[in-house]
Structure 1
Amino acid sequence: MSLPTIPRQRAIISRRKVASAIDAVVAEKGATSARQEIVEILRGALDAGRAELTARLEEKPGAGHANAHGYAFLIDQLIRIIHDHVVEDIYPAANRTSGERLALLAVGGYGRGEMSPHSDVDIAFVTPDKPTSWCEQVIEAILYYLWDLGFTVGHSTRSLAEVTRMATADLTVRTALLEARFLWGDRDIYDEASARFWADVVPGTQSQFVAEKLEERDARHKRMGGSRYVVEPNVKDGKGGLRDLQTLYWIGKYLHRVRSARELIEKGLFTQKEYRSFRRAERFLLAVRAHLHTIAGRGEDRLTFDLQREVAARMNYADRPGKSAVERFMQFYFLQAKHVGQLSSMFLSHLEEETAERSRIGEFIANLKPTREVDGYPLVNGALGAPSDDWFQQDPARLLEIYAIAEREGLEVHPSASRIIRRDAGLIDAKLRKNTLANDLFLSVLAGRNDPETVLRWMNETGVFGRFVPDFGKVNAQMQFDMYHHYTVDEHTIRAIGLLSQIERGELADDHPLSTGMLPLIKNRRVLYASVLLHDIAKGRGGDHSVLGADVARRLCPRLGLDARETELVAWLVRYHLLMSATAFKRDLSDPKTIVDFVSEVQSLERLRLLTVLTVVDIRAVGPGIWNSWKRQLISDLYEAAVERLRLGHKARGREERVAAKKAQVADMLGDKGSLVEELADAFDDAYWIAEPEDVIAINLPHYAAAQDMDHSLSIHTEPYEELGATLVTVIADDHPGLFYRIAGAISLAGANIIDARIHTNRAGKGVDNFLVQDPMCQPFSEGQQLSRLRKSIEDALLGKIDMVPSLAKRPLKQTRAENFSIAPLIVFDNDASNRFTVIEVNATDRPALLNRLTRAMFEQSLIINSAHITHYGERAVDTFYVTDLLGDKIVRPEKLARIEQALLDAVAAGEPAAKAA
């Protein structure tokens, strides 16, 4: 194997020119004395070569192959210059023995000629027998030069016999040698090593090599997250990355001894079209990796948020309406990753056919048995195959039928059939999309009873899904550039459908008891599955995707076979699919107006159930760790309150009845301390009893009574609240202005985050404030040391032992990933959401101590905070406050609202990195 022809080689490096410069220095000062100058000459050549290749990449930012081969060429020439200098000037040997011979082999990616700007340099030094002292000296001298140049060198020194022995025993060595390329030195040794490899190592081990390589690939995928649609992918090792393409080439080369991927066409493992797809994906991924290395100045293979923007800009992606440059770049990235997955599937399909040779007797016996079929589709190794090569051309509706059968019967689609489907997916046209049978088949997959998620993913991989539902094709591989969404839109949607199916089958009853219980009661099952499919269908179009998505639903649902009533129900669900989460997470559920407004939009129990399930699967499908017990509790609380309102209407239990019922429950929970409910009746008003859940009140009352008995002016209680995945922090203190912001700052200093807060001033003038807090990993504080730190920090803050502002300023804050994003701050005032309070919603980039700054600003504006509801969507913080002025009235005067808005904007700006640096 040799490198492809590199254009304008001497502009990258002129070996003759560099070697001449070294010869001149050696002639003047001698090899030993001139060493440092030689290193500088080599470093100058390396820097100049890199600069030239960087300029070429800027000129042609997508030229991945040219850049990779160019870097391999540059390293080749440097190593050859170093080798010749060492053997001629440092360790010359006039009459070498047969053992004083050495071959330099480029192995691994370097051997393949695919080098990124900061790739490791992998070299094998091969000797005829055990290395002589001369060989060892030469090898050591070469390595020291390479290290002086800053290369990370992976190297091995082995005799011919050791090469064969180790390759036989070790898969990694075998793979490295598979791509070994003669670099310099004794060519005969390389030829002998290659001959032994193919004669002594490979024969009889082909099946083992393929199995081990596929096992290695699967383990790597699992380690990298298991999906090719994660939003910060690893270009080299991630699913759909360069390593997957290399695995195909390794397997093909090991089986057929090909010298290039193109030769796999002749071997039947790739079609011409598939090979072009291979090269296109490889070229793009190599270019992306080259840009990553160049920007980072090191071997960086992960496309992190902070690098995605820069790579997109370097590769000349531009903003388009509804889609930013970085989102367009990443969508193309994921499309290439998808193509890599398709290539892997097709390649392995060919491999299976190639290796499925049977003896004549076995074939004769097999032919005596009738081939099992399912609705006209033969079963090939237990998977649905295509009866003929033109099967789908005869009737394109079969492109949907095979998947409907697969979902219904719980069968796989054979890779050979998938290959034909991918080829014929272009047959899906406007006529087929209007075909009633085809739409019935699609809907039977979408709302399948077995495993619609897997089958829809197969349909997506072959292109059938996006062609049959073009609106879905538009969000194929589309990412959202934020920290909240972990997957592309199409992957998120398919996962949500899978979660709905799992809940319906009762497989997630422990995680989702509410949804599991209500699904059998839902009358509009098809509506639910269609709404999950369409809830994000209009993302990336500009405008509100909920509104635009409802329009898509009204157009698409009749085509799928839903009647007018079902269509309007789907459109409503898509339009309001964020309503329940926004209400549950950003509004005070103890405020009656919240429930009244929510129910006025929902209107029926059936729509409430549908919306609840849609909300649950949407949140959980966003990514790992997004759904938690706190969100489950809030959704459940809103659902139960809405059910009561819907069932009883204006006859719903009045305030007095609700308070009395809750008091009875708390008394029962307190047992022998139940009398505290009556003893403290004068201390807590009805608003407290309505706002707090029973179990929190059952904690608060004994705490309050004990503080009262001991005449404590300040009492702090911390207790892990496992059901909600948080820690309950209760502060009982003499009420005074600024209490909230001081507590918020103290909690931040203790390393915790507030996720919910309820502020009460009782009739005795005591502040009884309940906070739910989590650690930075969204887990409860549970260890004694953590709880003590929380209590001590709050106590010191409220007793004036620490000056909050400078303490927070001095606290070392680690750089968070949110720093890579900038959310334009938005302050929203709502005087209609509550009858008693002005609701202030603050949207901003999440920063440490943001809540403290916001609540301090409100204190300085003479606002009284009744409750706070803290929500995070990745890098976006949405903090909602229910407030009044000092007289307990809403804030309505425009000039006052304007002052509050500016104060809050200033508080947000104070946490920006530039502000901190200043």
Structure 2
Amino acid sequence: MTSTEVTHEAEDSGPGGYAAARLRLLTEGARSGPPRRAALAALTDDWLAGLFDAGGAGRGGASLVAVGGYGRGELSPRSDLDLLLLHDGSDAKALAALADRLWYPVWDLGLDLDHSVRTPAQARRTAGEDLKVHLGLLDARHLAGDRALTASLRTAVLADWRNQAAGRLPELRDLCAERAERQGELRFLLEPDLKEARGGLRDATALRAVAASWLADAPRDGLADARRRLLDVRDALHLATGRATDRLALQEQDQVAAELGLLDADALLRQVYEAARVISYAGDVTWREVGRVLRARSVQPRLRAMMNGGKRLVERTPLAEGVVEQDGEAVLARTARPERDPVLPLRAAAAAAQAGLPLSLHAVRHLSATARPLPTPWPAEAREQLVTLLGAGRPTVQVWEALEAEGLVTRLLPDWERVRCRPQRNAVHLWTVDRHLIETAVRAAGLTRRVHRPDLLLVAALLHDIGKGWPGDHSVAGETIARDVAARIGFAPADVAVLATLVRHHLLLVETATRRDLDDPATVRAVADAVGSEHTLELLHALTEADALATGPAAWSSWRGSLVADLVKRVAAVLAGDEPEEPAAAAPTAEQERLAVEAFRTGGPVLALRARTEPAAEAPGTAGPEPLGVELLIAVPDQEGVLPAVAGVLATHRLTVRTAELRSLPLPDGVEGSVLLLDWRVAAEYGSLPQAARLRADLVRALDGTLDIAARLAERDAAHPRRRGVAPPPPRVRVAPAASRLATVIEVRAQDAPGLLFRIGRALEASGVRVRSAHVSTLGANAVDAFYVTREERAPLPDGKAAAVARELEEALRG
């Protein structure tokens, strides 16, 4: 059925015919995107015009006007109808009857309606008071009635907008900034709002309004296509959900991707991010130009320019060879010759970032169109300019984005294409892969005073996740890519090897520090063997911190920083020639002995809570002493079920476990048995810590079986159900080979949840193994825990037994 036939069906059948034609149009598989939006708008135009004419309004003095998105002819399946009933005020009674004949059929069909009834004078006055109303009227489109009335309003509204641009555009800019602060950046969000977030449809509409002011215009290349792609995604979202929503929630992304013919949700997000990046960059350029024009208008001509022969002389301050500052931007000098100077793009970018200036749109486009490619390997100056750009700190971001917008980054680093706009589906990450790499370089720039080779640190920061665009372990793939890129950039072979090591092992320190026993010589020796030298260790330490800080607040803390620093200190000693010693059984402290004696005397658990802090100097990345959690000491006569009982009680009191060590202390001579000593680090999820007496009382009940921990945790989960979303991946349990000579290390990766450690402890107890220590690490919604387990005789498990325990534990967690 053609759009004309659909329109005729709607006209012939009234509201019911419109509803049927609308449904047929939305379910046509062959029609989507702009054609469907235009056809839906045309269908709705004809239906509303029919309602208007049936109301006897053909006489003049009134008109029906579409505004906002409907005015632009962009009707998504669940878009509301923005309508203005415009009149000359001559017949109030007839106007009220006409309004009823228009609005009620719309409501009867369940369509959302945003309507108003105004004279042209009232419409202009309201627009003057409300910026959003004014923006909607800029897209006013005549539907029915007195066409001259609509035309006169459009002319007046546009004239008002242009005459008031000096005041209205700063107001619009502030509105966009406030919305961005509230909704975030569309190009980085896992569940973005396609309309409200920065780089979304509202920003695209704002750029149209700026162009309508004749004061400035947005870069047009790719802007219309980016806007179309976001509208297409919104159409598919409306069809998938059946709701008028702009929020691209996780649980709908696969269905929306299928509706658009995309491979999967990642392909969908990448397309959304690319569109948002185009709109965001266009906005940055446009608002800079608006500011420049308004500043120029506010200064008297004799103060802002000198006249010489009728020509305006603009002040241009040199920044680097071929690069000058003009009007608050870095631009190319008149003598610059990109076609003869292949280093100029990097030199201009480095100069702009060092000066804290944006790189002008004209300069970037001219460089993109005319600059010669760099030879392989790069000349030394090109390598130095890249390092200078990366070391400029926060200004690097806007300059790098300008280079990316015009394709210069992928021309310099072809491997960048695979990580560009690539989403990261771990909630710990704030950024896409490419932006995370730049943010890591920004963070690394603040740590260059700590290392002997700042250039290697900065380039490693840029490349450490470059392998995420390839299948398999991104660190392994990244090592290969880093070798190739570093050689192409012109680093010496020894430096290439260091960069490859840094990329390959950029997660080594934090994963080892938080998941392994640092007192175990095998742990320290394995890290030393992987790193190879003290200088590489120094660089890896700084890269680890920069990477974590650039990931997000959940990825770095004073606790993690202190563990990494402790590991680095131990590894540095080994690399300097000291051999790690087998840990001897540490003598109990006076407090531990006191608790053990009291537990033996009372026959029940005894515990103590004590807050621990770490000075800023020993906790990198912090501004002052910060808590490392709370030390929880528990002594209890050795018996079965202690680990799950303690873990369960802590979970019911909303305490998060960070580390857990367990050891046995023999009882005094002549007394059989032992006391189990637990030295744990815990932190309150929120609120204050529970009283030690309450913890002890619940622990006593958990050990004697009168407290059903599993039931209590289930009740809490039922009372606070989790938000519906994509099902998490199943848990994975493995035996870490050769991780320790003293115990078997079993590593658990699972969705973090209250009581997870309780379930793990219960499963390990059922497997008949003893837990010597536990190292708990949580990254966003993912728990990565390591358990050092032994046989009764304190020896590692045989290979077959270890594999069986891992299988049983994984089955228990899946169940």
Scaled to the shorter chain, the TM-score interval is: 0.7 to 0.9
| 2:393 and 2:446 in contact (8 A); partners too | no
Residue in structure 2 matched with residue 132 of structure 1 by the alignment: 92
| 1:129 and 1:160 in contact (8 A); partners too | no
Question: SS of the residue aligned with 2:163?
Answer: coil
Cα RMSD, aligned residues only = 3.5
Describe the shift of the 1:580–1:53 C-alpha distance in structure 2 as closer, same or farther (beyond 3 A).
Answer: same
By how many angstroms is 1:179 displaced?
1.4
Residue in structure 2 matched with residue 531 of structure 1 by the alignment: 460
**Could you give the per-residue CA deviations for residues 757-816 of structure 1, whole angstroms, max 9, x where no partner exists?**
2223322333332443445xxxx4442669887666545433423323344444435554
Number of residue pairs aligned between Structure 1 and Structure 2: 789
1:369-518 maps to which residues of 2 (within 5 A)?
A: 371-374=316-319, 375-388=321-334, 391-424=337-370, 427=371, 429=373, 431=375, 434-448=378-392, 451-504=395-448
1:713-732 maps to which residues of 2 (within 5 A)?
A: 713-718=604-609, 723-724=626-627, 726-732=629-635
Residue in structure 2 matched with residue 548 of structure 1 by the alignment: 477
For residues 392 and 385 of structure 1, what CA distance do their matches in structure 2 show?
12
**Could you give the per-residue CA deviations for residues 24-48 of structure 1, whole angstroms, max 9, x where no partner exists?**
xxxxxxxxxxxxxxxxx53x74365
| 2:158 and 2:212 in contact (8 A); partners too | no
By how many angstroms is 1:718 displaced?
4.6
For residues 600 and 101 of structure 2, what CA distance do their matches in structure 1 show?
81
Describe the shift of the 1:818–1:191 C-alpha distance in structure 2 as closer, same or farther (beyond 3 A).
Answer: closer
By how many angstroms is 1:839 displaced?
0.6
For residues 818 and 643 of structure 1, what CA distance do their matches in structure 2 show?
47
**Matched letter for residue 636 of structure 2:** A
For residues 163 and 445 of structure 1, what CA distance do their matches in structure 2 show?
51
Question: SS of the residue aligned with 1:150?
Answer: coil
By how many angstroms is 1:606 displaced?
1.7
Residue in structure 2 matched with residue 321 of structure 1 by the alignment: none
Question: SS of the residue aligned with 2:76?
Answer: coil
**Could you give the per-residue CA deviations for residues 394-444 of structure 1, whole angstroms, max 9, x where no partner exists?**
4343222211222344443233323433444xx453647744543343233
| 1:750 and 1:789 in contact (8 A); partners too | no
Residue in structure 1 matched with residue 203 of structure 2 by the alignment: 244
Residue in structure 2 matched with residue 839 of structure 1 by the alignment: 745
Q: Is 1:601 equivalent to 2:530 in the alignment?
A: yes
By how many angstroms is 1:460 displaced?
2.9
| 1:818 and 1:875 in contact (8 A); partners too | no
Please list every run of 5 or more consecutive structure 2 residues that lacks an aligned counterpart in the other structure: 614-625, 668-673
For residues 724 and 539 of structure 2, what CA distance do their matches in structure 1 show?
34
For residues 13 and 791 of structure 1, what CA distance do their matches in structure 2 show?
78
- Higher mean displacement: 785-794 or 73-82: 785-794
Question: SS of the residue aligned with 1:412?
Answer: coil
**Could you give the per-residue CA deviations for residues 336-379 of structure 1, whole angstroms, max 9, x where no partner exists?**
22222343345456667877579876451685687433334343
Residue in structure 2 matched with residue 661 of structure 1 by the alignment: none
Question: SS of the residue aligned with 2:556?
Answer: coil
Residue in structure 2 matched with residue 310 of structure 1 by the alignment: 255
Residue in structure 1 matched with residue 494 of structure 2 by the alignment: 565
Residue in structure 2 matched with residue 33 of structure 1 by the alignment: none
Equivalent position to 1:897, from 793, 802, 805: 802
Residue in structure 1 matched with residue 671 of structure 2 by the alignment: none
Equivalent position to 2:165, from 198, 206, 211: 206
Question: SS of the residue aligned with 1:832?
Answer: coil
Equivalent position to 1:333, from 272, 279, 303: 272
**Could you give the per-residue CA deviations for residues 718-741 of structure 1, whole angstroms, max 9, x where no partner exists?**
555564454444443333212211
Describe the shift of the 1:275–1:407 C-alpha distance in structure 2 as closer, same or farther (beyond 3 A).
Answer: closer
By how many angstroms is 1:450 displaced?
8.5
For residues 544 and 535 of structure 2, what CA distance do their matches in structure 1 show?
14
Describe the shift of the 1:138–1:688 C-alpha distance in structure 2 as closer, same or farther (beyond 3 A).
Answer: farther
TM-score for the superposition, normalised by structure 2? 0.87
Describe the shift of the 1:889–1:298 C-alpha distance in structure 2 as closer, same or farther (beyond 3 A).
Answer: same
By how many angstroms is 1:287 displaced?
0.7
Residue in structure 2 matched with residue 675 of structure 1 by the alignment: none
Equivalent position to 2:521, from 578, 592, 597: 592
Residue in structure 1 matched with residue 512 of structure 2 by the alignment: 583
For residues 276 and 414 of structure 1, what CA distance do their matches in structure 2 show?
15
Residue in structure 2 matched with residue 216 of structure 1 by the alignment: 175
| 1:342 and 1:461 in contact (8 A); partners too | yes
**Matched letter for residue 323 of structure 2:** Y
Describe the shift of the 1:639–1:784 C-alpha distance in structure 2 as closer, same or farther (beyond 3 A).
Answer: closer
**Could you give the per-residue CA deviations for residues 103-150 of structure 1, whole angstroms, max 9, x where no partner exists?**
332222122222222223222233323982443354356434333322
Residue in structure 1 matched with residue 230 of structure 2 by the alignment: 285
Q: Is 1:757 equivalent to 2:700 in the alignment?
A: no
**Could you give the per-residue CA deviations for residues 664-686 of structure 1, whole angstroms, max 9, x where no partner exists?**
xxxxxxxxxxxxxxxxxxxxxx3
Residue in structure 2 matched with residue 177 of structure 1 by the alignment: 137
By how many angstroms is 1:860 displaced?
0.9
**Matched letter for residue 908 of structure 1:** L
For residues 25 and 423 of structure 2, what CA distance do their matches in structure 1 show?
34
Equivalent position to 2:35, from 66, 70, 74: 66
By how many angstroms is 1:608 displaced?
1.7
Describe the shift of the 1:860–1:353 C-alpha distance in structure 2 as closer, same or farther (beyond 3 A).
Answer: closer
**Matched letter for residue 678 of structure 2:** D
Equivalent position to 1:46, from 19, 39, 57: 19
| 1:447 and 1:529 in contact (8 A); partners too | yes
Question: SS of the residue aligned with 2:86?
Answer: strand
Describe the shift of the 1:252–1:794 C-alpha distance in structure 2 as closer, same or farther (beyond 3 A).
Answer: farther
- Higher mean displacement: 844-853 or 343-352: 343-352
| 1:534 and 1:549 in contact (8 A); partners too | yes
| 2:456 and 2:499 in contact (8 A); partners too | yes
Please list every run of 5 or more consecutive structure 1 residues that lacks an aligned counterpart in the other structure: 1-5, 20-40, 257-267, 319-324, 505-518, 657-685, 690-696, 911-918
Q: Is 1:364 equivalent to 2:333 in the alignment?
A: no
Question: SS of the residue aligned with 2:555?
Answer: coil
| 1:439 and 1:559 in contact (8 A); partners too | no
| 1:346 and 1:416 in contact (8 A); partners too | no
Q: Is 1:884 equivalent to 2:790 in the alignment?
A: yes
Question: SS of the residue aligned with 1:14?
Answer: helix
For residues 504 and 286 of structure 2, what CA distance do their matches in structure 1 show?
43
| 1:538 and 1:545 in contact (8 A); partners too | yes
Residue in structure 2 matched with residue 265 of structure 1 by the alignment: none
**Matched letter for residue 558 of structure 1:** A
Q: Is 1:800 equivalent to 2:700 in the alignment?
A: no
**Could you give the per-residue CA deviations for residues 521-554 of structure 1, whole angstroms, max 9, x where no partner exists?**
x222221112111111121211222222222222
For residues 117 and 655 of structure 2, what CA distance do their matches in structure 1 show?
53
Describe the shift of the 1:130–1:876 C-alpha distance in structure 2 as closer, same or farther (beyond 3 A).
Answer: farther
Percent identity reads 27
Question: SS of the residue aligned with 1:373?
Answer: strand
By how many angstroms is 1:288 displaced?
0.8
- Higher mean displacement: 379-388 or 831-840: 379-388
**Matched letter for residue 327 of structure 1:** D
Describe the shift of the 1:255–1:855 C-alpha distance in structure 2 as closer, same or farther (beyond 3 A).
Answer: same
Equivalent position to 1:123, from 76, 79, 83: 83
Residue in structure 2 matched with residue 768 of structure 1 by the alignment: 677
Question: SS of the residue aligned with 2:789?
Answer: strand
**Matched letter for residue 763 of structure 2:** A
Residue in structure 1 matched with residue 620 of structure 2 by the alignment: none
Residue in structure 1 matched with residue 621 of structure 2 by the alignment: none
**Matched letter for residue 205 of structure 2:** Q
Question: SS of the residue aligned with 2:426?
Answer: coil
**Matched letter for residue 341 of structure 1:** S
Describe the shift of the 1:305–1:312 C-alpha distance in structure 2 as closer, same or farther (beyond 3 A).
Answer: same
Question: SS of the residue aligned with 1:865?
Answer: strand
Q: Is 1:812 equivalent to 2:717 in the alignment?
A: yes
**Matched letter for residue 415 of structure 2:** D
| 1:401 and 1:441 in contact (8 A); partners too | yes
For residues 373 and 148 of structure 1, what CA distance do their matches in structure 2 show?
67
